[in-house]
Amino acid sequence: MSIFKYYIELSNDVGDTDINKRSEDFFSGLLNLLFNLNLMNMNKIKMNFPAIDLGDKERRICYQITADSTSGKIQETLYKFRNLKLYEEFDEINILIIGNKIKTRKRRFEYPEFQFNTTDNLLELNDLFKEMAKKNTSELEKILHFFESEFGNNIINLIKSVEEDKSLYIDETILRDRHVCYYAFGLGRVRLDAYIPVNFEQSLSCLILFQQPGLSDCMITLEEDSIRDLLFYGDNDSDEIEKRNFIWYIDGDKIGIKLPNNRFVTDSETVKQFCEIITRFHKNYLKVREELLSIIGATKFVEEQPGEFRILRAPKYIWESMVDFAQKHDHYWGETKWDIFHPLNLHKKDRIIMYKNHLSEIKADILAELHVKDLGSNYVDIIWKSGFTPSQSKMEGFNNLIKWRVDYTHHWIVEDFIPYLFYLDYLRNRGLLKTLFRKKKTYEKFKCEFSSQNYGIESLEFY
């Protein structure tokens, strides 16, 4: 299920929205196995069947399959269900959210004609995973065969690597393409499966299995924040077990482990394996992340939030001059090298978008984006965000032609953009006498003499 969930997210990520339609057949089969239903794809009975996607008319149960977890989408579905009086055909409507976490569990949706409880009738993929965990061996075999028929053997063989005797040994495995990086490593008593981000919009996640009475059926899932805080933080690569953040206590050979929603006691050999797995996992994560940072030229800059990097600190008046200049140099009309900006309807001067000039033969759109968060002080931190072109994936095109790298953007602002703003100011303030009796400096000469440090501009690049 985690593989299918990730597949859906990736497909939506790259614009393959048809995956949500194709998944209707998949989920009709899976839900039939999990809940002993006979769901049919309603869109095959009637094209664009309203409100619901799957229906079992004998059991009078139906499902809507959607990647949209907003309350607006849920309310719209239930409104159509009620307005079209589908409650006369189905006693129960369920909404299955695929690809995104549900954020509307606490909201109540009440209708006099039918019941809809967000606890029971609003589902996500994790709910199906929990239902699978309740199945016996023969039922799980049927589900496995179903997955094999849907996905093929290449991914399923990885799942089968946990043998029937529940041995958790697997050689360190890394499968990677431009959309996904799957990592697995097991030493017999502990196994970890993870997805390592291959772009800055993905997040780190992992599944941990322990071979121990009472824990053998326990699947511990961790998201990025927990992985960073508990598994990667501080001395978590240390050989000294007590320095690991996930250690609860040590009492001889009995060692307590604390993980989100899980505290348990195990032995030193299990902990030793767990530590080695985490260390290797961490090293591989750092290796992939370093590659990503290198691609976008961000190895020497601090990440403000995923995919955004602080590059400069400058006086607010300089930033506002940059914004004013950008608003006047429209990429769509201008014909100079400075006409590379996309004018914005700004309520406040907090954003600049660099765009391919209309005369350029390069197939590109947004080159890079700059923004600031706080305009309330005299200085602002300028933050870089990646450009975008539909023909390129998220990590492609960083050649400073299609998309600008972080280091290139930083250098361009300091060495070209800001000096040019001051050069324009120099030309405006020469006065009549200087215009008549002194030869004006060329921009190149002015730029060579210009020092950004004299104007309070601080590079946030570290060495």
- Determine the Cα–Cα distance for residues 407 and 33; give it in Å rounded to an integer: 53
- Determine the Cα–Cα distance for residues 353 and 327; give it in Å rounded to an integer: 10
**pLDDT (tens digit, 0 to 9) for every residue of the chain, 463 residues total?**
555 555 555 444 444 444 455 577 788 999 999 999 999 999 888 877 889 999 999 999 999 998 777 888 888 999 999 999 999 999 999 999 886 566 666 778 888 999 998 888 999 888 888 888 888 888 888 888 887 777 655 455 554 544 333 468 889 999 888 788 999 999 989 999 999 999 998 899 999 999 877 775 667 889 999 999 999 976 556 668 888 999 999 999 899 999 998 899 999 999 999 999 999 999 999 999 999 999 999 999 999 999 999 999 999 999 999 999 999 999 999 999 999 999 887 788 999 999 999 888 887 789 999 999 999 999 999 999 999 988 888 899 999 999 999 999 999 999 999 999 999 999 988 765 555 557 889 999 999 999 999 999 999 999 8
Q: Where are the domains of the chain?
A: 1-163, 168-296, 302-459
- Determine the Cα–Cα distance for residues 387 and 402; give it in Å rounded to an integer: 8
Q: Are 35 and 132 in contact (CB under 8 A)?
A: no
Give residue 119's pLDDT: 87
Continuous segment of H or E residues that includes residue 5: helix 2-13
The token pair that represents 147 in the structure block = 């997955």
Q: DSSP class of residue 2?
A: H
- Distances 62 to 58, 92, 364, 380 between C-alpha atoms, Å: 10, 6, 45, 53
- Determine the Cα–Cα distance for residues 232 and 244; give it in Å rounded to an integer: 9
- Determine the Cα–Cα distance for residues 221 and 2; give it in Å rounded to an integer: 10
Q: Are 8 and 20 in contact (CB under 8 A)?
A: yes
Q: Work out the number of other CB atoms within 10 angstroms of the CB of residue 339.
A: 17
Q: Work out the number of other CB atoms within 10 angstroms of the CB of residue 345.
A: 5
Contacts 24+ apart (CB under 8 A), 39-46: 39/63
- Number of H-type helices and E-type strands within the chain: 14, 19
Q: DSSP class of residue 455?
A: G
Q: DSSP class of residue 441?
A: P
- Determine the Cα–Cα distance for residues 235 and 371; give it in Å rounded to an integer: 35
Beta strand 308-315 pairing with 379-388? antiparallel
Give residue 415's pLDDT: 96
Q: At residue 144, what is the residue type?
A: L
Dihedral, CA atoms, 427, 428, 432, 437, nearest 10 degrees? -10
Continuous segment of H or E residues that includes residue 245: none
Q: Work out the number of other CB atoms within 10 angstroms of the CB of residue 453.
A: 9
Total-model pTM:
0.66
Give residue 452's pLDDT: 93
Give residue 168's pLDDT: 84
- Integer-rounded Cα Rg, in Å, for the chain is 28
- Determine the Cα–Cα distance for residues 111 and 93; give it in Å rounded to an integer: 12
- Determine the Cα–Cα distance for residues 5 and 125; give it in Å rounded to an integer: 7
Q: How far is CA 445 from the centre of its chain?
A: 45
The token pair that represents 45 in the structure block = 């009975």
Among 183, 207, 147, residue whose Cα is nearest residue 26: 147
